[in-house]
Amino acid sequence: MAHLRSRRRLALAVPVALSLTASLGFLPAAASAAEPAAPAARFADGPNLAYVVNTKSTSRHTIGSVTEAISKAGGTVVVTYKKIGVIVVHSTNPSFGAEIRAARGVLSAGATRTTPLVAAGTTDEGAADYLTAAEAAKVEAVSARTPESEPLEADQWDLRSIGADKAAKINPGSRRVTVAVIDTGVDDTHPDLAPNFSASQSANCVGGVADTSAGAWRPYKAEDYHGTHVAGEIAAARNGIGVAGVAPGVKVSGIKVSDPVNGLFYPENVVCAFVFAADHGVEITNNSYYVDPWLYNCMDDPDQRAIVDAVNRAQLYAQKRGTLNLAAAGNSSHDLDSDAIVDESSPDDATPVPRTIDPHKCFDVPNMLPGVVTVSATGVDNVKSYYSTYGNGVVDIAAPGGDRKYQIPDTPSKNGRILSTMPNGEYGFLQGTSMASPHAAGVAALLKSKYPKATPAELQTLLKAQANNPGCPASYDQDGDGKQDAVCEGGEQVNGFFGFGIVDALRAVK
């Protein structure tokens, strides 16, 4: 079984994120890429690092002035996103960050990693659990009694829990709606994905520059299965093969952002992905990851502040171009409405140094950014999954993500995880808020299909309105040791475990 490192946790309420945006003086979002190359750096004193440099304005004069300052400070421009004022730079000058932050026209700037460039983090909990041939035969035997279902659908408890199986008979989604999976890549040759895959809206954004050559969006290797699994949850076709997605009639694309060496999702890659999605007519993006190398980016650190600034500009640009962005809440079971959280995993591209952070001042990216829909995970019993991060006023919506410990479905495989597509035509089970977010993205795609003129803000309102909220449980002692494993705060309409509620695909299409 392949092993995928579990990394993540979180999200923030829009009001907090909006105040964050205002305090940083973020530029109005808008963008397209250009690639002016700066003169070769004259510094070679330190490791070659990547940086994001964020300008105070998007005027030609300001960007030109900053580009000149980058060269003088020993930096080489990789790409300039002129409409959002974000410049990706490489430099071996150990003092580059400090020097460029002092330059006229620079609002923020910082390194996007703590280790040198060479030459990928996701939000699932644990390793993949592949469906064996014997299990597949068992599931198919059950499904044979329900000819309208897909061969492996008997194990897809998640579809039934949100009414997606019934919704598909009413409206499976429009071919005019595309959900982009910003992730480890998507294997578009999978027979369940090929019918709905949009190559023209797919790319490889690793390094910060979009590569649209044929197949560039595919996973580097079979172990990079995360994005393919996510894509199947959203839009696996109802074609008599394997499984079905929540919105089997919409299109899905892949934008690869995971580094080929360590699998991490660096800021410049994600900036590229949001801009690419917006410029290529994508209606919805799914973001089942956090931007590396910091689990939380603290605003009193210049590097981390620059990361928040750069990615926020890109995702706001996407929103203004009509794209709704959804993101996984995280698998650390952190309470994001608390006063303090212990982050033991940052930086994850070097040796982590444990630190205590205030989630009101240190932000996970992208799911704590303004306008991003934050999704927590539930199991078959519609209870918060044991690993899912939560927080009153932070989580916007909940969706099936699986729970292998405490919520076991009565299905052929008795597997509490989520069954979906894997590279090379295979299928497997995963769990995590990584799996919850695409379920919500699929429902958002159904809503966009029904209301094609809905703006991202309107679509988010519709998504919250159709949800079913079970309210805070009387007790959340999952392991039965007499202690509460997490405390749900809030009321029946909005609370920390489920936000506005668990998505409902059937209500979305009615």
Segment 301-351, tens digit of pLDDT:
999 999 999 999 999 999 999 999 999 999 999 999 999 999 999 999 999
The mean predicted confidence, pLDDT, of the chain is 90
Residue 348: Cβ within 10 Å count: 21
Burial of 403 from C-beta contacts in 10 A (0-12 / 13-18 / 19+): buried
Residue 4 has pLDDT above 90, yes or no: no
pLDDT of residue 249: 98
Query: How is residue 472 written in tokens?
Result: 């805070």
SS (H, E, C) 71-134: HHCCEEEEEEECCCCEEEEEECCCCHHHHHHCCCCEEEEEECCCCCCCCCCECECCCCEECCHH
Residue 125's pLDDT band (boundaries 50, 70, 90)? low
pLDDT per residue as tens digits for the range 403-440: 999 999 999 999 999 999 999 999 999 999 999 999 99
Hunting for tokens 């991003």 — which residue is that? 372
- Name the architecture of domain 27-111: 2-Layer Sandwich (3.30)
State which fold the 129-466+499-509 domain adopts.
Answer: Rossmann fold (3.40.50)
| Domain definitions of the chain by residue range | 27-111, 129-466+499-509
Model pLDDT for residues 222-268, shown as the tens digit of each residue: 999 999 999 999 999 999 999 999 999 999 999 999 999 999 999 99
Residue 322's CB is within 10 A of a number of other CB atoms, namely 17
Mean pLDDT of 97-105: 98
Looking at residue 132, its pLDDT comes to: 77
Cα distance between residue 130 and residue 222, in whole Å: 12
Given pLDDT bands bounded at 50, 70 and 90, which one contains residue 7? Answer: very low
CATH topology identical between 27-111 and 129-466+499-509: no
Kindly report, residue by residue over 189-223, the tens digit of the pLDDT.
Answer: 999 999 999 999 999 999 999 999 999 999 999 99
Asked whether the beta carbons of 397 and 13 are under 8 A apart, the reply is no
- The answer to whether 313 and 84 are in contact (CB under 8 A) is yes
